[in-house]
Amino acid sequence: MLVPEDRPDRTFREYHRAHRQAAAAQDADAPPFQIPEVGHPYPRWSLPALEAATWVRDTCPDQFPAFDMALFEAFFSRTEDISNPEVLGRLASLCGLDARALSQVIGEERFRGRVLAEHRGALASGIHAVPAVILPSRPPIMGAVPYAELRREVDAVLRQAQTVQ
Q: Where are the domains of the chain?
A: 1-124, 128-165
Q: What is the pLDDT of residue 129?
A: 82
d(CA 95, CA 64): 9
What global pTM score does this model have? 0.74
d(CA 49, CA 28): 28
The residue among 72 and 98 whose pLDDT is bigger is 98
- DSSP-derived letter for residue 34 is P
pLDDT greater than 70 at residue 6: no
Q: What is the pLDDT of residue 57?
A: 97
Give the confidence band of 7 by pLDDT, cuts at 50, 70, 90: low
Phi, psi for 141 (deg, rounded to 5): -100, 120
CATH topology of domain 1-124: Cyclin A; domain 1 (1.10.472)
- Average pLDDT over every residue of 85-102: 96
- 3-class DSSP state for residue 28? coil
Give the confidence band of 148 by pLDDT, cuts at 50, 70, 90: confident
